[in-house]
Structure 1
C-alpha cells in the first residue's frame, strides 16, 4: 500500500521540483548579472527552501540538530556522509549564513536547471574525479577562496552516495587539501540519516513518509589534535557512529 501511494505523490513531487528549478534558473541569472553575488545568494537560498518543501509533498520532513552554533567570522569546512541529492538543500538552507559552497563532480556543472548555474557561478568547485591532478589544483584554489571570504565548504569524503544508508569508506585526500588551504577553518562533522530512503524504490516511485535528520556535531580544529591523522579519524568516527541503519 505504501508503494502504491508513492506513485501519485512522486508525480506531484517531480512536477513541483521541476517547476522550482525552471522558475529559479532565470531568477538566478537575473540576480547574478544585474545585482551581483548577494542577490544571487538570496535567490539560491529561496530555491533551497522551495526544494525542501517539495520533499514535504512526499510526506517526509526534515530536522536539523545543532547544539554548537557558530558565527560567520571564520571559514568553515562541513564534512558529511552522503545518502542522496536530498542532502543538498537542507545543508545549504540550515548553514545559509555561512554561504555554503560545494566540492562537486564536473558532470553536475551542466544540463541541470538552477543547480548547474549555481555550481558554476555561486562559488563552488567542479572537479574531474578521473583526473586527480586537476581535482587537487581545483580544490586548492577553492580552499584559498573559502579562506579569504570566511565562507563554508562542504565535502562528502565517501565520494558517492550510499544507496542503503551504510557508510562507505572515507577518501580523505580532498579533505586534507581543504584543511591545508583553509588553515583557520572550523570543521563541522555532520551526520545525515534517512535521506537514502527517498530512493528506496529507485527514482520512481520515490520513498515517502521519511524523517530526514541532519546532526551537526561539535566543531573541531586542527589545533585540537596532536596529528592530522587523529583529527581525520575522529571526524570519520563521529559521523559514522551516529548513522542509524
Structure 2
C-alpha cells in the first residue's frame, strides 16, 4: 500500500507540473516574476505537499512560524534549512509570506518543464565546480533579489544528508547574510523520517518543522555565525527526532 500511495503522489506531481510549468513559461513573456510566483509556483508546491499528506500519509507540524516576519516586513532574510529530502524544497516556498529564491546547482535547469520554470523564476543557479565565480554570483544576485523583497533559501549542508547525521555546514549562507546585511533564520526539518533522501517512497508519519528566531549578521564573522546556525539546527533536530540520533549535537563547519 505504501508503494501504491507513493506512486500516486508522484503521478500527481508530474501531471500537475506539466500544465502549470508550461503555463508559467508562457506567462513569463507577459507578467512579472512575482505574479508567476503566486499564480503558478506556490499553487503547485502546495498541491504536491497536499497530495503527500492526503494520499501518502505524510503530515507535518510547524513550530515557530511567528519568527518569520509578515509579508509587509521588507527586512532581508536568508533562510538556512536542514536538508534531508526533496520535501522541504517543496514545502518552504508554500509556507513563506514572501517570494523565495533558492540557491541551487545549475544542472537542475536541464530538467524538462521543471528546469524551464525554475529558469523563469529569478532563482540563483550556480556552477559548483567554479566556487569563486559561484560565490560572486550568489552575492550579486542575492542582493538584487533581496532589494526586491525576496528571501533567499540556502541549504548550508549543500546536499541532502542521511537522517540522524549532520552534514558539513558550509559558510555560504552566513557569508551572504553578512555581505547583504541580512538576518538569518535557521530551520530544522525532520523530513528524512517520512521522505528518505534519494527515494520517492513515502513513509506515513509526521514531519516536524521548527523555525528559529532571526539571527542578526551585523558585526559577525562568517565561520562563527554559521557555527551558531548549524549548532542550533542540529540541537533542534535531536529534540525533534531523538530516536534518529545517538551522538552529541555538533555541526562541522566548512568553507
TM range (shorter): 0.7 to 0.9
Equivalence for 1:186: 183
- Aligned equivalents of 2:118 and 2:179: distance in 1? 20
- Aligned equivalents of 1:196 and 1:77: distance in 2? 25
Q: Sort the Cα spacing of 1:147 and 1:8 in 2 relative to 1 into closer, same or farther, 3 A.
A: closer
Task: State the Cα RMSD in Å.
Answer: 1.9
Q: Sort the Cα spacing of 1:27 and 1:190 in 2 relative to 1 into closer, same or farther, 3 A.
A: same
For the 8 Å contact 1:162–1:196, the answer to whether it is kept is no
What are structure 1's unaligned runs of at least 5 residues? none
Equivalence for 2:206: 211
Equivalence for 1:154: 153
Q: Sort the Cα spacing of 1:242 and 1:125 in 2 relative to 1 into closer, same or farther, 3 A.
A: same
Equivalence for 2:33: 37
Equivalence for 1:60: 58
> TM-score, normalised on structure 1?
0.87
Equivalence for 1:106: 106
SS in 2 for 1:98: coil
Q: Sort the Cα spacing of 1:187 and 1:226 in 2 relative to 1 into closer, same or farther, 3 A.
A: closer
Q: Sort the Cα spacing of 1:179 and 1:89 in 2 relative to 1 into closer, same or farther, 3 A.
A: same
Compute the displacement of 1:146 (Å).
2.8
Q: Sort the Cα spacing of 1:147 and 1:100 in 2 relative to 1 into closer, same or farther, 3 A.
A: closer
Equivalence for 1:50: 47
Compute the displacement of 1:136 (Å).
1.2
Q: Sort the Cα spacing of 1:120 and 1:181 in 2 relative to 1 into closer, same or farther, 3 A.
A: farther
